[in-house]
Amino acid sequence: MKAAGVRFRRAGKVYPFNPGDLEVKRNQKVIVDTSWGPEMGTVIYVEEDHPEEKEMRKIIRMATAQDLEMAGRNREKEPAAFRICKEKIEKRGLAMNLVAVEYTFDGSKILFYFTADNRIDFRELVKDLASVFHTRIELRQIGVRDETKLIGGLGICGRELCCHSYLSEFAPVSIRMAKEQNLSLNPTKISGTCGRLMCCLKNEEETYEYLNSRIPAEGDTVTAKNGNIKGVVQSTDVLRQTVKVLFTAEDGSAELKEFKADDLRFTPRHHGRRRMTDKEKQEARELEALENEDRRSRSRLD
C-alpha cells in the first residue's frame, strides 16, 4: 500500500497517511483527516510499499493558498489566546505553567499545553476559556521534556536543541551511558535544558561500549605482551586506547608506563568502567528517579 509520512510540527512525530490517487511529494503541504478533524501537515516521505495499516487515515487534498492563509491566521491568534489563558490561570490561582497554545486547522478547538508538579483541577478554567473563545477547549498536561521540545533553545554545545530541531521521538537515556563515557555524574554536567539527562548521551553509546570493551578497567592487573611483567592499571584513555600501568619490581621500586591497549594481555570487560563515589551514587539515584517519572507520563504533543 502506498503511504505518505506527514508531520504536523517541527521535529514532531511522523504519521503514515493514505494519499489515495493524489501525487504527493516531499515537503508539500497537505490537508489530512485526523481524529480531531482536518489538519494541515508536511509530507516527509512517500513510500510505495508501506505495510498495510487498517487505521491509516486519508490525505484529503493538497493544501491551497486559502488553506495556508487560514493556518497563518490561526498562528496569529495564538499569542492573544496565550495571554488570556495566563490571566485566567493567575486569577484562579492555579499552580500550573502555561507552555503553548495551538488552534486546530478548522478552528473548532484550541489546545492549551501546560506543565504542573501535580494534578490540576482545571474544570472551572475550561469554562472561563470557553466563555471567551466560544469553541471547544482542551488542556493538556505535558512533561518537562515536551516543554523544552515546544519552546526550543540552545544546548551547552552551542547548537539548537536536538529535540526541537530534528529529534522526533525521545530516545531512552540512562546513567549507565554517562558512566560508560567516563563523564562526571554531577547532574549539572549531564543534564539538558529540561533538567533531565541529555538526549545526546545516546549518540555515542555504541562507540563507547565498543572502545571500553577493548581496554582494561582501572585497578585491573595486566601483563605486557613483550614480557611477563605484571602491573596494575592506574588510568585509561578510552578514545586514544592507551593505558598507564604501574609496575612494581622485586626491590620495591615502581615505574609508571603507558601502553597501547593492544600491547597488553587482560580480560576484557563490557560495562561499568568507572567506579562511582557515594555522592555520585546518590545523584545518580535522583536523576534516575526523574527519568522514570518522565517515562511513566505519556507524551501528549503529537
Nearest to 186 by CA among 271, 274, 275, 281: 281
DSSP string across 15-48: EEEB-TT----TT-EEEEEETTEEEEEEEEEEET
pLDDT in tens, the chain (302 residues): 788 889 998 888 898 898 888 888 899 999 998 887 899 999 998 988 777 666 788 999 999 999 999 999 999 999 999 999 999 999 999 999 999 999 999 888 999 999 998 888 899 999 999 999 999 999 999 888 889 988 889 988 889 998 888 888 887 888 888 888 888 878 888 888 888 888 888 888 889 988 988 888 888 888 888 777 788 888 888 889 999 989 887 777 888 888 898 888 887 665 445 555 566 666 666 666 666 655 555 445 55
Residue spans of beta strands (DSSP E) within 78-180:
97-103, 109-115, 136-141
Distance CA 194, CA 175 (A): 16
For residue 181, the model assigns a pLDDT of: 87
Residue 73 burial (10 A CB sphere; 0-12, 13-18, 19+): exposed
For residue 39, the model assigns a pLDDT of: 92
Distance CA 284, CA 287 (A): 5
For 30, other C-beta atoms within 10 Å of its C-beta total 22
Whole-Å CA distances, 123 to 55, 102, 126, 136: 32, 19, 5, 13
For residue 292, the model assigns a pLDDT of: 61
Instruction: Establish how many alpha carbons lie within 13 A of residue 297's alpha carbon, considering only the half-sphere containing its beta carbon.
Output: 20
* Antiparallel, parallel or unpaired: β 136-141 and 109-115: parallel
For 176, other C-beta atoms within 10 Å of its C-beta total 15
For residue 271, the model assigns a pLDDT of: 47
Distance CA 231, CA 221 (A): 6
Phi, psi dihedrals of residue 226, rounded to the nearest 5°: -90, 15
pTM: 0.74
Torsion of CA 210, 215, 218, 219, to 10 degrees: 130
Instruction: Establish how many alpha carbons lie within 13 A of residue 226's alpha carbon, considering only the half-sphere containing its beta carbon.
Output: 5
For residue 298, the model assigns a pLDDT of: 46
Instruction: Encode burial over 117-145: b for 16+ CB neighbours within 10 A, e otherwise.
Output: eeebebeebeebbeeebeeebebebbbbb
Nearest to 5 by CA among 63, 69, 48: 48
Full set of structural domains in the chain with CATH: 3-63 (no CATH), 69-141 (3.30.300.20), 148-208+277-296 (no CATH), 214-265 (2.30.30.30)
How far from each other are the two terminal CA atoms of the chain, in whole angstroms? Answer: 24
